[in-house]
Structure 1
Amino acid sequence: MFIHKIDEEVSLKLIELKDAERIFELTNQDREHLREWLPWLDMTTKIEDTKGFIQMCLKGYAENKSLNAVILFKGEIVGAASFNTIDWSNKNAHIGYWLAAEYQGNGIMTITARALTDYAIKELKLNRVEIRAAVENKKSRGIPERLGFVNEGCIRQAEWLYDHYVDHMVYGMLAEDWNEE
């Protein structure tokens, strides 16, 4: 079981089926907020959808292809962060994340992304960590920018969000550039 304590208030824990109710509750209460930038909200309409997602995450973890964790703040699930993919042959990982609206603005996601980057480079011995965010999603883009990721450019029409395409900014961090204290 993956558990990673970041500080006194924030930890990451491998997602489990027992987390489905809380994750679905957060998804449901923040549906409109999350839907602005995440493509899966319309496919998550009942708790069984969340359970199916968790089962897929656990399969990816068992196959060493991904790592999906819940973010615990003061012991309560407040969002999720993951290595959506781990590419062992190229030694890179892609970080994804979301956080319930009421917990935003407290630095939780920045320290979470920092911890995942540190873990990828120091523990998994990966060479590259990537974060992508929609060009207009300023809050999400601020995270890799605060962490010193390099803005590597824009991928046009990278993602279909319900009724329109969004461009993505790609941010990368190389192991040789990661100077985390």
Structure 2
Amino acid sequence: MLSLCTFKLNDSEIKLVMPEARFAEPLYTVIDQDRESLARYLPWADAMNSVQDELNFIEFARHQFADRKLFLFVITDNRQPVGMIDLHNVNFDSHSAEVGYWLASSSQGKGIMTNALKQMIINIQPELQLHKITVVADVDNIASRSIPQRLGFTHEAVLKDHIFSNGQYHDADTFIRLFD
């Protein structure tokens, strides 16, 4: 299992690891359990309807990783998959990328995602030589918006009708972090 990083948080060992086929079933279980809350903000949640769908996504992500287009990591808490974090829309010409993330409701409120984003930046930003990382979050998703704020990202703009989820358009806050 390839790991980007490992960190301790309270009594937990948190790892950011490359997605593998063996994670498909436990990730799908978490998605299925949290489908309603995930689908409120994430358009893909309603389209993930089976373990096979998750397995197909993992295979897609691994190919995108090989092409340096998507850098997706499974977040594990004491070896149990509890979410994902990624860099997508990677543009090596402009040295920029966007971050996406989601976390099981049972794992929220513990600092896992804030620390996962912090560690991902520490471990991958120098390798990719990124100048700008952007987080886009539904304006109503207070938990998601608070993560870049805690890490010192700058609020850049509100994008009107930027996210289409649950049959309607939602505004999105954008947060950026610049690197020298």
- 1:3 is aligned to 3
Tell me how far 1:2 sits from its aligned partner.
4.0
Q: 2:27 aligns with which of 15, 23, 26?
A: 23
Q: 1:96 aligns with which of 97, 100, 112?
A: 100
% identical equivalent positions: 31
Checking the alignment, whether the CA contact within 8 Å between 1:6 and 1:112 is kept in structure 2 is no
- 1:63 is aligned to 67
In 2, Cα distance between equivalents of 1:71 and 1:146: 19
The question of 1:142 aligning with 2:175 is answered no
Tell me how far 1:51 sits from its aligned partner.
1.2
Provide the aligned C-alpha RMSD in A.
1.2
Structural mapping, 1:115-134, within 5 Å: 115-134=119-138
Q: In the alignment, residue 7 of structure 2 is paired with which amino acid? A: D
3-state DSSP of counterpart to 1:98: strand
Tell me how far 1:75 sits from its aligned partner.
1.6
- 1:179 is aligned to none
Tell me how far 1:74 sits from its aligned partner.
1.5
Tell me how far 1:105 sits from its aligned partner.
0.3
- Greater mean deviation of Cα atoms: 104-113 or 11-20: 11-20
- 1:50 is aligned to 54
- 1:87 is aligned to 91
In 1, Cα distance between equivalents of 2:84 and 2:139: 21
Per-residue Cα deviation, 1:24-66 (whole angstroms, up to 9, x for no partner): 1111111112111111122111111111111111110010111
In 2, Cα distance between equivalents of 1:167 and 1:157: 5
Per-residue Cα deviation, 1:114-162 (whole angstroms, up to 9, x for no partner): 1122234323221111111001111000000000001001110001102
Tell me how far 1:96 sits from its aligned partner.
0.4
- 1:76 is aligned to 80
- Greater mean deviation of Cα atoms: 8-17 or 151-160: 8-17
Q: 1:175 aligns with which of 152, 156, 179?
A: 179
Checking the alignment, whether the CA contact within 8 Å between 2:4 and 2:120 is kept in structure 1 is no
In 1, Cα distance between equivalents of 2:92 and 2:161: 27
Q: In the alignment, residue 5 of structure 1 is paired with which amino acid? A: C
Checking the alignment, whether the CA contact within 8 Å between 2:14 and 2:75 is kept in structure 1 is yes
Any runs of at least 4 consecutive aligned residues in structure 1 with deviations exceeding 6 A, and if so which? none
In 1, Cα distance between equivalents of 2:99 and 2:2: 16
Tell me how far 1:72 sits from its aligned partner.
1.0
Structural mapping, 1:160-171, within 5 Å: 160-171=164-175
- 1:37 is aligned to 41
Tell me how far 1:17 sits from its aligned partner.
1.5
Number of residue equivalences: 176
In 2, Cα distance between equivalents of 1:121 and 1:58: 19
3-state DSSP of counterpart to 2:68: coil
Checking the alignment, whether the CA contact within 8 Å between 1:6 and 1:111 is kept in structure 2 is no
TM-score if structure 1 supplies the norm length?
0.93
Any gaps of 5 or more consecutive residues in structure 2? Answer: none
Checking the alignment, whether the CA contact within 8 Å between 1:121 and 1:128 is kept in structure 2 is no
